Structures are given as structure tokens and as C-alpha cells.
Chains A and B, each alone.
Chain A
Amino acid sequence: EVQLLESGGGLVQPGGSLRLSCAASGFTFSSYAMNWVRQAPGKGLEWVSSVTDSGDSTYYADSVKGRFTLSRDNSKNTVYLQMNSLRAEDTAVYYCAKAASGYYYFDYWGQGSLVTVSS
């Protein structure tokens, strides 16, 4: 059974930093791209970032480029989203999502981790 378990969310002040982790199990982690998608309270879905299966390439939404860094450790079956210079508009539930085989669609999702940026 595929499981994605996010951790690291919480309350942070504007300008602060936070690192989200997503521990994966139930599939061959090193064979799949991994992604983060966020959802602000009461709003729709927004893609944040993706990393290829090997970790060689990463992609970012313009809204987070230069502030967020996505990485993965295939030996630990874990992806990390380092979030710096956080803003109020980054407040959202952050979902870790596995890419479907060969495609950048999201076939499995974690339960989500709430990040609140507020003073």
C-alpha cells in the first residue's frame, strides 16, 4: 500500500523558514518523480514543485522560485521542501504527491501538512 506521510508543518513568522518532509513507502521510491501541491484555506489547488526520480532536475512555480528548494534522498525514501522567506500568502495545506508512472499527474497524495505564516 502506497503511503506518503508529511511532517514539519506549523506556525512561522513572516520571513521565517520551515522544512517539510514526506516519507514514502509501498512503492519503489527511486523510480518516481515526487511533487508538492498546496491549497490555501478555502481555495483551489496550486502546484508548487516537482523533482525527477533521480533528483537531477527540479521545477518550481514562479510564486516560490528562489525561496523554496525541493530535494530528495532515495536512500531514505524521503523528499524535502525547504521553504525560506515565507510570506502570509504561503499559508496553506501542503500535500506531497507521487507522480503517476511516466506522467506528471498525481496518483497518490499524503494527508497534507498545514503551514501558517503569521505574526
Chain B
Amino acid sequence: EIVLTQSPATLSLSPGERATLSCRASQSVSSYLAWYRQKPGQAPRLVIYEASNRATGIPARFSGSGSGTDFTLTISSLEPEDFAVYYCQQRSNWPLTFGGGTKVEIK
């Protein structure tokens, strides 16, 4: 099973600041990685797929990068709706796995 480790666990930032979230895989997943945003009480929403492609309706302030074992989700300027928990997920191998999540909170 591929283990995804996300860091940091919590990121405290102010609106307008840049957020950088990390996801590290226990073995290579090529570019087969996605990112989701989950707001409290809601279902997750797909943000990035195949490491760097924005999902439908996702604004340009979100970008993804990386391949192999190290991936980054960057939010260039935080909006109020971006304060949430973010998860990465790999589709390289069964079982599909998620990272433990990074909470982006208001400082």
C-alpha cells in the first residue's frame, strides 16, 4: 500500500497570503495524484488531478506540481473559502489511498 504523508498538519495564514502544502508518497506514483478541498460539514471537492491539472471550476490561484514521490499544492492568494482541509490521493496502485490532510486555518 502506498502511504501518502502530508505536511504540515496545520497551516496558519492570513487571507491574501500564499499557501504551500506538501504530499510525499512512500513510493513513486508518477503523476497520478489529486488534491481535494473539504470545507466543514461538506463533501470534498476535487481541486487538482494528475498532479497539475485544475479541475472544472477551480480558479487559477490553485496550482499543483511534482512527480514521483514529492508533490505540492500552492494557493497563490488565500480567499476566505480556501480555509479548509486539503487531502491528496493517489491512483497509481490499488488500494487507492489518501493522505492524512492539511488544515489551512485563519491566523
What are 23 A-B contacts with C-beta separation under 8 Å?
A: A37-B44, A44-B99, A44-B101, A45-B36, A45-B38, A45-B44, A45-B87, A45-B101, A50-B96, A59-B95, A103-B32, A103-B49, A103-B50, A105-B34, A105-B46, A105-B49, A105-B89, A106-B36, A106-B89, A107-B46, A107-B49, A107-B56, A109-B45
Of all chain B residues, the one with the shortest Cβ separation from A100 is B49
Closest 6 CB pairs of A and B: A109-B43, A47-B96, A104-B91, A105-B34, A45-B98, A105-B49
Count A interface residues, CB 8 Å. 21
A106 & B95 in contact (Cβ 8 Å cutoff)? no
Binary contact readout A75-116 vs B (1 if CB under 8 angstroms, 0 otherwise): 000000000000000000001000010011111011110000
Of all chain B residues, the one with the shortest Cβ separation from A96 is B43
Q: In the bound complex, how far is the Cα of B7 from the Cα of A90, in angstroms? A: 27
Binding site for A on B (CB under 8 A): 1, 32, 34, 36, 38, 43-46, 49-50, 55-56, 87, 89, 91, 94-101
B43 & A112 in contact (Cβ 8 Å cutoff)? yes
Binding site for B on A (CB under 8 A): 37, 44-47, 50, 59-62, 95, 100, 103-107, 109-112
A62 & B96 in contact (Cβ 8 Å cutoff)? no
A107 & B55 in contact (Cβ 8 Å cutoff)? yes
- Closest Cβ of chain B to A79, distance in Å, is 16
A105 CB contacts on chain B under 8 angstroms? 34, 46, 49, 89, 91
Which of B1, B43, B56 is close to A95, meaning CB atoms less than 8 Å apart?
A: B43
